[in-house]
């Protein structure tokens, strides 16, 4: 065979190699294009909006920061120019929305941080954008329309008064957060002047802390929702046969558990023990629990777990009891004391899952993004997180929570205008100091539209202090004319 023919026989493999290399390069480019598209569609805003991205604020050189609006279009934050032509951020309702709207100086918090990317993005028409660029003018940024209900926010702020604590309201069927108040508060309009005093080491008020999402508290008797759920799970056929005789103080060996103000509840079945928030009854239930299963149920209800609330700072709740815990830890944990801690936000989410038949909807604060011209740019839709419990379990807990209102500690929200399912709580946290007051519930009980959770620090009884605050929110939302 000639040398020329041998060379011709070697060429096809070389051509095939080139072809495979070409295919590989094309696939790499396609993969890169798909990734870039995915990044821009799903991850881009989150990454660009990350608080560690120092370049994002450079967008403010070309874009007037957009407005933040309540659900009804009321302006909550906007930009103005001072006498020297400098842009300043104005918070139209001051401290009423301080923690949830946040601030955009000294860093960014709240919705100012959550919506930062959108507020510094402009969707004015292309001709106007081009003209502004040529003229050296800034374009108008997009507006963020929130889920916040103006009337509810003001009602929550007013009802909490000058007491320390938090109020949160949400729609259980969608996850929309309707109101979020934390006190003590601050005026975001004077933040720069007040910053030194607010952050001084001698300041013990923690005005900058959003207690609704970041305040960790003993859940007190609101935790009995979880204890009751676990007891039902471990005694599915006979939990209604539970019986306890309450003398006001439950003794177990060297340990004693008192009911609130040592009230003797007498003969208690399962429903009455829950309605009356009988500490002795629930402490005795705890001693019957499988502690491994108890911990599993707690974590299914998002203790020791991240909450499905991305982009907004919060603290994780904690449940520390494990198998092998001693008697005192079991007694304390079963009634919501000990080392268990929860945020008002988390308590609201547990309550919302019960109201929604066991399914938790992811909480959210942004309803839509609109251009300066009013055109909708992006819509945020409700999204299910998953089931925290079965529909049957949710129905059984609703029945228990109805009894709290009709015959137990939740009488402050009892009304003929609508039905309420709730749990009150009075949480001890330090010897010699007044207890924290809790309320968490939803209405109407048979067709829930709103969840309200209230925490008032060092104020006494949940039923007497937190309940009336919740009542004002229920009235405001359900009795609108």
Q: Are strands 139-140 and 243-246 parallel, antiparallel or unpaired?
A: unpaired
Mean per-residue pLDDT, 200-216? 96
Distance in angstroms (rounded) separating the CA atoms of residues 395 and 426: 25
Above 80 in pLDDT, residue 167? yes
Q: In 396-459, where do the E strands start and end? A: 421-427, 436-443, 450-456
Residues in Cβ contact with 128 at an 8 Å cutoff, skipping those fewer than 6 apart: 139
Tokens describing residue 120: 């510094």
Above 90 in pLDDT, residue 125? no
Distance in angstroms (rounded) separating the CA atoms of residues 399 and 407: 12
The confidence score (pLDDT) of residue 132 equals: 65
Residue whose C-alpha is closest to residue 355's, from 440, 296, 442:
442
Greater confidence (139 vs 17) lies with 139
Instruction: Report the sign of the C-alpha dihedral through residues 163, 177, 215, 92, in that order.
Output: negative
Cis peptide before 184 (omega within 30 of 0): yes
DSSP alpha helix (H) spans, 139-238: 150-160, 191-199, 211-214, 224-234
Confidence of residue 390 (pLDDT cuts 50, 70, 90): very high
The confidence score (pLDDT) of residue 40 equals: 46
- β-sheet bridge partners, residue 87: 81
Mean of the per-residue pLDDT values of the chain: 91
Mean per-residue pLDDT, 119-128? 80
* Neighbour-count burial of 84, counting CB atoms closer than 10 A to its CB (0-12 exposed, 13-18 middle, 19+ buried): exposed
Tell me, what DSSP letter sits at residue 125? -
Distance in angstroms (rounded) separating the CA atoms of residues 232 and 138: 61
Distance in angstroms (rounded) separating the CA atoms of residues 138 and 50: 23
Confidence of residue 152 (pLDDT cuts 50, 70, 90): very high
Greater confidence (63 vs 348) lies with 348
Tell me, what DSSP letter sits at residue 206? -
Mean per-residue pLDDT, 43-63? 62
Mean per-residue pLDDT, 47-76? 78
Q: CB of 442 within 8 A of CB of 394?
A: no
Residues in Cβ contact with 161 at an 8 Å cutoff, skipping those fewer than 6 apart: none
What is the tens place of the pLDDT at every residue in 63-114? 889 999 999 999 999 999 888 878 899 999 999 999 999 999 898 999 999 9
pTM beyond 0.85: the answer is yes
Above 70 in pLDDT, residue 12? no
Give the other-Cβ count within 10 Å of 474's Cβ.
25
């Amino acid at each position: 065979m000639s040398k020329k023919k041998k060379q011709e026989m070697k060429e096809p493999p070389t051509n095939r190699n080139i072809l495979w290399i070409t295919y590989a390069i094309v696939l790499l480019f396609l993969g890169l294009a798909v990734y870039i598209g995915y990044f821009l569609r799903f991850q881009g805003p989150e990454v660009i909006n990350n608080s560690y991205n120092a370049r994002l604020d450079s967008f403010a050189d070309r874009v007037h920061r957009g407005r933040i609006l309540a659900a009804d279009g009321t302006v909550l934050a906007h930009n103005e120019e001072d006498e020297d032509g400098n842009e300043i951020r104005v918070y139209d309702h001051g401290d009423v929305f301080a923690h949830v709207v946040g601030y955009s100086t000294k860093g960014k918090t709240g919705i100012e941080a959550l919506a930062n990317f959108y507020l510094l993005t402009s969707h004015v028409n292309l001709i106007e954008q081009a003209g502004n660029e040529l003229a050296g003018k800034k374009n108008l940024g997009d507006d963020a329309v929130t889920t916040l209900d103006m009337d509810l926010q003001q009602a929550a702020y007013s009802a909490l008064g000058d007491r320390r604590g938090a109020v949160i309201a949400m729609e259980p069927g969608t996850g929309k957060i309707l109101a979020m108040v934390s006190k003590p508060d601050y005026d975001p309009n004077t933040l720069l002047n007040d910053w030194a005093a607010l952050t001084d080491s001698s300041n013990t008020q923690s005005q900058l802390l959003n207690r609704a999402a970041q305040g960790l508290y003993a859940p007190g008797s609101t935790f009995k929702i979880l204890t009751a759920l676990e007891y039902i799970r471990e005694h599915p056929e006979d939990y209604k046969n539970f019986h306890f005789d309450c003398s006001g103080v439950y003794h177990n060996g060297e340990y004693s558990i008192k009911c609130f103000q040592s009230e003797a509840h007498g003969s208690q079945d399962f429903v009455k023990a829950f309605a009356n928030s009988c500490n002795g009854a629930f402490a005795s239930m705890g001693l019957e629990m499988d502690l491994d299963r108890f911990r599993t149920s707690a974590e299914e209800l998002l203790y020791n777990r991240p909450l499905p609330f991305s982009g907004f700072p919060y603290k994780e709740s904690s449940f520390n009891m494990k198998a092998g815990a001693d008697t005192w830890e079991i007694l304390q944990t079963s009634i919501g004391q000990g080392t268990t801690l929860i945020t008002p936000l988390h308590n609201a989410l547990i309550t919302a899952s019960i109201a929604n038949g066991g399914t938790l909807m992811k909480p959210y604060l942004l309803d839509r993004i609109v251009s300066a011209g009013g055109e909708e740019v992006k819509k945020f839709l409700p999204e299910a997180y998953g089931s925290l419990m079965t529909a049957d379990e949710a129905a059984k807990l609703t029945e228990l929570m109805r009894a709290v209102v009709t015959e137990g500690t939740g009488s402050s929200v009892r009304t003929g205008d609508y039905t309420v399912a709730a749990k009150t709580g009075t949480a001890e946290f330090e010897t010699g100091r007044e207890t924290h007051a809790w309320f968490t519930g939803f209405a109407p009980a048979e067709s829930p539209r709103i969840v309200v959770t209230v925490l008032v620090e060092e104020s006494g009884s949940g039923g007497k202090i937190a309940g009336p605050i919740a009542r004002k929110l229920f009235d405001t939302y359900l009795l609108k004319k």
